[in-house]
Structure 1
Amino acid sequence: MHNDNIQTLQLGYMPLIDCAPLVAAVRLRLDRKHGLRLQLQRQASWAAVRDKLLSGELDAAHALAGMVYGIETGIGGPKADMAILLTLNQNGQAIVLSPALATALEQGRPLRELLAALPRRPVFAQTFPTGTHAMWLYYWLAAQGVDPMTAIHGITLPPPQMPAALARGELDGYCAGEPWSAQAEALGAGCRVVRSGQIWPGHPEKVLACRREFAALQPDIATALTAALLEACRWLDVPANRREAVAWLADPDVIGLPAEQIAACLLPSDSDSDDADADAEQDLHFHADGRVNFPWLSDGRWFLHQFRRWGWLQSADRNADDALVANVHRTDTYREAAQRVGVPVPAGGTRRSVLFDGHRWD
């Protein structure tokens, strides 16, 4: 604790559109309002985010929701007790294919046949083995009859490296957060074929994650941090405010791509389609009166269900799942922070969702 009674925290983030709440919290001095000084640390990969969270170099981080459950269960890496303080955004990711595959898919040819006709096993990239991008990619492939565990070669790449790898022909497609699908299109390296909000409208994406020890042993600081980020998310759901945030994200030290590309991903779409409500539900959201930010227990159960689907978790104990999710999701901390900043909270801890293949989840 410093003499000025301000607690300094180290927060990690990846150069993605949805790191905006962290950047806004600092730019607007919302951290100082809640007695904190947030020092943002850009990271090179999600594995680096994980490792620095676990070592204590980072107090908290902008993190893939699925990554948190992967660490909690010890799938493919270190196992540790984790906490989710709030969800930072919904939607805002995309799957990109090479131009040839995207064109053939648009012409109505089945993806399964297209991939089988390639001269080698198709290569698809995601950003972390148990992360959200892997989950959206695998779910989308499986819905079209492509087994992501056997029919493709899946690799992990940091999102900024994906467009160039696609341009070099090393990849046939990938799933990543914006602006990295927009960058592939800007380079002519690939085409965005489905947005993640089309796969699961309103899906959880990035979360504010920390070690469970931090959340449990420093509850006042965890609540203050949650409140500051919750205010930043609320601010970002105002279109005029997002226009101000474009320049912050375009800064070379944050994302470092042209402001026009940032704006195309960050600003709400002005849809004049026949199904404007559905389009809006699929857009990038940071707040929506708190519906985005509440750490829904049912969202956590969905990820565990997918881990079992792909053979990474063997047990199928609903009570164990409930206990795990209740430990990870710090709903009490969230409710206290939300009350502090005047954000409504739901009565229960679960919600109902419908995915693009008609599957219902609650």
Structure 2
Amino acid sequence: MTGHDNRDIRTLRLGYMPLIDCAPLVAAVRLGLDSKHGLQLQLQRQASWAAIRDKLLSGELDAVHALAGLVYGVETGIGGPQAELAILLTLNQNGQAITLSPALAQQLEQGVPLREALAALPRRPVFAQTFPTGTHAMWLYYWLAAQGVDPMADIRGVTLPPPQMPAALARGELDGYCAGEPWAAQAEALGAGKRVIRSGQIWPGHPEKVLACRREFAALHPETAVALTAALLEACRWLDEPGNRRQAVDWLADPDVIDLPAERIAACLLPVDSDPPGQGLRFHADGQVNFPWQSDGRWFLQQFRRWGLLPDGAAAADDALLGNVHRLQTYRQAAAQLGVALPAADTRQNLLFDSRLR
């Protein structure tokens, strides 16, 4: 393994993107939860999801705040070089959004079908996501398809780091994008775009960011993997306690983390009473958020096949792949240390916004 021998290690380099849902990593360090669990976490902000992937694979980073879909894309070899990765826990549910240009958003508000609004543009519509197999690409494609827009034929898809999206929308280079907050809020603050749907409306309680590492790392350093999982799980639990998120707002607004005004961060991080149950940003929910559900991974593989990114495969092969990626035993040990409840099964069923069960 690059950079380490087989001895247990306690100083870890964690990569993250400047998004609201990196909050558990920041909270774990600011609260000293890493040292409580015998670790020293060194947080390293990254410029793109591709950079996070590459540095994780090279060993420059030990673990990362990652898009769930990025992990499955790397594991299957369709999201860059094929490599064996592990998901230790889910860091959050919901908290992303699709943003459109003001003109397109206004047409939707007036009842114009999205397909008609896009067809009236003088050129092929351009939509951005953050990583080709990532969660944002999947939410965007699912939402477009539900409205009769083929994301593989009717639009031009591009990949951009989230912080660059509001300015690209303002310059007219994009017609819309899907990204994590606070980058929909930032577009609205700039007058560059309007949030038209939150990801929690598309799939209430969807998995979003995960704590990922190389599978070799988890196998060679099992105690460290459990300690890291426990530290982040405890941070997620702290973030779902009433009042604690306001403290986290200032941490995330720091120039070294997200570097946006605190009020912009607060608008995305603090709970909103009007959010329907299960649709707002959640970090814990008594462990229901954090358990790495096998069925969540199955949904991503199905979507990869739906869009022609992955060849057809047998369900048994998918289950074997997900059994290797989802480190359920590591999570269970960490949860037991903290007294976090475990579900009775490894799968769950959810209803998406188009009334389809998954």
Give TM class, smaller chain: over 0.9
Among 331, 334, 346, the residue aligned to 1:334: 331
Q: Is the 8 A contact 2:19 2:258 kept in 1?
A: yes
Aligned to 1:234: 237
1:151 and 2:154 correspond: yes
1:286 and 2:304 correspond: no
Among 295, 298, 318, the residue aligned to 1:298: 295
Q: Is the 8 A contact 2:9 2:221 kept in 1?
A: no
Aligned to 1:209: 212
1:22 and 2:25 correspond: yes
Q: Is the 8 A contact 1:6 1:37 kept in 2?
A: no
Matches of 2:140 and 2:181, distance apart in 1: 15
Task: Please state how far the C-alpha of 1:138 moved relative to its aligned partner.
Answer: 0.2
Aligned to 1:245: 248
Matches of 1:216 and 1:7, distance apart in 2: 15
Matches of 2:192 and 2:280, distance apart in 1: 24
Secondary structure in structure 2 of the residue aligned to 1:360: coil
Matches of 1:113 and 1:257, distance apart in 2: 36
Superposed CA offset, 1:189-223 (max 9, x none):
00000000000000000000000001111110000
Task: Please state how far the C-alpha of 1:312 moved relative to its aligned partner.
Answer: 1.1
Q: Is the 8 A contact 1:60 1:211 kept in 2?
A: yes
Matches of 1:6 and 1:54, distance apart in 2: 18
Provide structure 2 residue ranges, at least 5 long, that are not aligned to the other structure.
Answer: none
Among 30, 54, 60, the residue aligned to 1:51: 54
List aligned pairs for 1:1-362, cutoff 5 A. 7-271=10-274, 279-361=276-358
Superposed CA offset, 1:100-126 (max 9, x none):
000000111000011011000000000
Q: Give the partner amino acid of 2:206.
A: H
Superposed CA offset, 1:138-191 (max 9, x none):
000000000000000000000000000000000000000000000000000000
Give the number of aligned pairs.
352
Matches of 1:160 and 1:168, distance apart in 2: 14
Q: Give the partner amino acid of 2:299.
A: W
Secondary structure in structure 1 of the residue aligned to 2:174: coil
Task: Please state how far the C-alpha of 1:315 moved relative to its aligned partner.
Answer: 2.3
Which TM-score applies when normalising by structure 1?
A: 0.96
Superposed CA offset, 1:311-347 (max 9, x none):
1111220000000011000000000000011100112
Matches of 1:76 and 1:225, distance apart in 2: 25
**Identity between Structure 1 and Structure 2 (%):** 80
Q: Give the partner amino acid of 2:310.
A: L
Which TM-score applies when normalising by structure 2?
A: 0.97
Moved over 2 A (4+): none
Provide structure 1 residue ranges, at least 5 long, that are not aligned to the other structure.
Answer: none
Matches of 1:32 and 1:131, distance apart in 2: 31
Q: Give the partner amino acid of 2:155.
A: I
Q: Give the partner amino acid of 2:12.
A: L
Q: Is the 8 A contact 1:6 1:32 kept in 2?
A: no
